[in-house]
């Protein structure tokens, strides 16, 4: 990656959002290294190899419903059929006999299909009198059966390498009797905040200081991803302190994420430091909030220089950084961004030229789903993120939104 003239500081050179995302992802590959972990420890981890079914799932033909196992050939097509009930099949305790002509076996969900039977009649439609069950017409051969290997055939791939394990994946692996899995090693991420005005929590604020919220926001987001975190704290706006922190972070981590110090102010050293110690791919985007966001490398570490404003940090993290981290973690394919059009329950003007991410709240009414603004939209108003449940994504060419217009929303569920 190198700095190009197209990445200069002029307003005409802002890099488009989609182009920036593509440049980031195209430059990254999964980290090397893997480990074997117990299934319970695989939550949020990324599979390093395929999970192959060691046997058929289900392992045997079984009933999908509570009812009666019968032979379809015994059933009349136009009238009720009486069958003698000769036993019961439970899940884990199969019926040991054979279903003969004009016979039925009471069967429970998950129980093996008795020999001779080929159809399950659900108990809700059957009528039983003592040891005789009466089956109405209209039954179909093979109904309500789950065949062996219907879910997974022996030797088939149950979960492909690159899959990130959630509760369902953990349960699926356990259902195959697999006690340990191979997963990519945890991604090591160093975080630090920059700025003489940034104060750590736990002490009184001095004149002009603000408490550091960005490291805590990033801590929460990275913890949810299952990253191994290295918190470098708050680094003052001094070149020697910044250089030492950058070198230490790059040696210890796969990714370094900073907040603050990437604008054009005279005390903003991050971009200069990235160019001197490594490489800068770009640092200004056509986005609001979050225009000054740097991307590059220092040593062997990928570096994201995020803005200082708290909302801008969250917007740039979820629009650019999170997918980059997932790719580095070995996730393949990356999950698609869920976005859909919704009616706007607000009006506003917008300056064309940048994609704008507003914080919104989805609400349902008699007219259907709509979205409204979640409070004040300033890039320093972190409360707007807390009160929101989606991003409202306004494209570059949008100049205004009128009440009733259709706007694109990106829900937080599954993202944040």
Least reliable range by pLDDT among 258-272, 331-345, 377-391, 398-412: 258-272
The CATH architecture annotation of domain 34-57+150-184 reads: Alpha-Beta Complex (3.90)
Q: Which fold has domain 62-146?
A: Molybdopterin biosynthesis moeA protein; domain 3 (2.170.190)
Percentage of residues in the chain having pLDDT higher than 70: 95
Provide the pLDDT confidence category of residue 264 given band limits of 50, 70 and 90. low
Domain 340-411, CATH? 2.40.340.10
Task: Check if the beta carbon of residue 224 is closer than 8 Å to that of residue 265.
Answer: no
Structure tokens at 331: 């996730």
Give the pLDDT score at 219.
96
Residue-wise pLDDT tens digits, 272-286? 777 788 888 888 899
Alpha-carbon distance of 163 to 223, in angstroms, equals 18
Alpha-carbon distance of 258 to 271, in angstroms, equals 11
| E-assigned strand segments in 307-376 | 340-344, 348-349, 355-365, 368-373
- Within 8 A by CB and 6+ apart from 322, the residues are 221, 225, 415
Q: Give how far Cα 199 sits from Cα of 234, 309, 407, Å.
A: 8, 14, 38
* pTM tops 0.75: yes
Label the pairing between strands 228-235 and 188-194: parallel
Label the pairing between strands 103-107 and 180-184: unpaired
Alpha-carbon distance of 315 to 305, in angstroms, equals 13
Residue-wise pLDDT tens digits, 355-384? 999 999 999 988 899 999 998 888 878 889
Task: Check if the beta carbon of residue 359 is closer than 8 Å to that of residue 385.
Answer: yes
Domain parsing of the chain, residue ranges: 5-33+186-329, 34-57+150-184, 62-146, 340-411
Give the pLDDT score at 67.
97
Task: Check if the beta carbon of residue 189 is closer than 8 Å to that of residue 207.
Answer: no
Domains 5-33+186-329 and 34-57+150-184 share a fold: no
Give the pLDDT score at 238.
83
Task: Check if the beta carbon of residue 291 is closer than 8 Å to that of residue 242.
Answer: no
Give the pLDDT score at 195.
82
Alpha-carbon distance of 262 to 9, in angstroms, equals 12
Q: What is 5-33+186-329's CATH number, 3.40.50.2300, 3.90.1150.10, 3.40.980.10, 3.10.20.30?
A: 3.40.980.10
Q: Helix axis angle, 17-26 relative to 322-329, nearest 10°?
A: 20
Cis upstream peptide for 164 (omega within 30°):
no
Kindly state the helix (H) or strand (E) to which residue 129 belongs, with its residue range. strand 127-129
Mean pLDDT confidence for 291-309: 91
Mean pLDDT confidence for 77-99: 96
- Within 8 A by CB and 6+ apart from 83, the residues are 68, 70, 74, 102, 103, 104, 132, 133, 134, 135
Q: Is the pLDDT of residue 391 over 60?
A: yes
* DSSP track, 249-261: HHHH-SEEEEES-
Helix, coil or strand: residue 141: coil
Provide the pLDDT confidence category of residue 262 given band limits of 50, 70 and 90. low
Q: Is the pLDDT of residue 311 over 80?
A: yes
Give the pLDDT score at 406.
97
Specify the residue for token string 């205004």: 400
Task: Check if the beta carbon of residue 53 is closer than 8 Å to that of residue 152.
Answer: yes
Alpha-carbon distance of 166 to 160, in angstroms, equals 14
Give the pLDDT score at 282.
87
Alpha-carbon distance of 326 to 164, in angstroms, equals 9
Least reliable range by pLDDT among 59-68, 96-105, 274-283, 289-298: 274-283
| E-assigned strand segments in 161-216 | 180-184, 188-194, 198-199, 210-211
Cis upstream peptide for 147 (omega within 30°):
no
Least reliable range by pLDDT among 12-16, 176-180, 192-196, 225-229: 12-16
| Mean pLDDT of all residues belonging to the chain | 91
Least reliable range by pLDDT among 132-136, 238-242, 358-362, 386-390: 238-242
* Higher-pLDDT residue of 400, 241: 400
Label the pairing between strands 255-259 and 188-194: parallel
Task: Check if the beta carbon of residue 71 is closer than 8 Å to that of residue 145.
Answer: no
């Amino acid at each position: 990656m190198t700095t190009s003239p197209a990445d200069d500081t002029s307003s005409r050179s802002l890099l488009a959002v989609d182009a920036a995302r593509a440049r980031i992802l195209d430059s990254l590959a999964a980290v090397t290294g893997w480990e074997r972990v117990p299934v319970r420890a695989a939550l949020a981890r990324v599979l390093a190899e395929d999970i192959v079914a060691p046997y058929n799932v289900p392992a045997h033909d079984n009933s999908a419903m509570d009812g009666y196992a019968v032979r379809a050939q015994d059933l009349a097509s136009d009238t009720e059929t009486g069958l003698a009930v000769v036993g019961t099949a439970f899940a884990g305790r199969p019926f040991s006999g054979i279903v003969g002509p004009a016979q039925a076996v009471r069967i429970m969900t998950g129980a093996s299909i008795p020999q001779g039977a080929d159809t399950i009649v659900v108990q809700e439609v059957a009528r039983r009198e003592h040891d005789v069950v009466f089956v109405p017409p209209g039954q179909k051969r093979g109904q309500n059966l789950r065949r062996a290997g219907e879910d997974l055939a022996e030797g088939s791939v149950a979960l492909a390498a690159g899959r990130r394990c959630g509760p369902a994946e953990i349960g699926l692996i356990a259902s195959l009797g697999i006690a340990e899995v191979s997963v990519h090693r945890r991604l090591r991420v160093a975080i630090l905040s920059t700025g003489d005005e940034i104060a750590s929590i736990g002490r009184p604020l001095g004149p002009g200081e603000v408490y550091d919220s960005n490291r805590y926001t990033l801590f929460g987001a990275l913890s949810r991803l299952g990253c191994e975190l290295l918190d470098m704290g708050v680094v003052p706006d001094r070149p020697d302190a910044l250089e030492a922190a950058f070198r230490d972070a790059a040696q210890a981590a796969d990714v370094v994420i900073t907040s603050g110090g990437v604008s054009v102010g005279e005390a903003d050293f991050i971009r200069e430091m990235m160019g001197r110690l490594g490489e800068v791919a770009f640092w200004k985007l056509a986005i609001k909030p979050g225009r000054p966001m740097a991307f590059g490398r220092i040593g062997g570490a990928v570096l994201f220089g995020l803005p200082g404003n708290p909302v801008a940090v969250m917007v740039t993290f979820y629009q650019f950084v999170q997918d980059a981290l997932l790719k580095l973690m070995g996730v393949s394919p990356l999950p698609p961004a869920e976005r859909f059009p919704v009616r706007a329950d607000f009006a506003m003007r917008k300056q064309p030229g940048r994609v704008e991410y507003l914080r919104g709240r989805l609400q349902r009414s008699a007219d259907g789903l709509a979205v409204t603004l979640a409070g004040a939209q300033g890039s320093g108003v972190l409360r707007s993120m807390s009160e929101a449940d989606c991003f409202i994504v306004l494209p570059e060419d949008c100049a205004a939104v009128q009440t009733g217009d259709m706007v694109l929303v990106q829900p937080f569920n599954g993202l944040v």
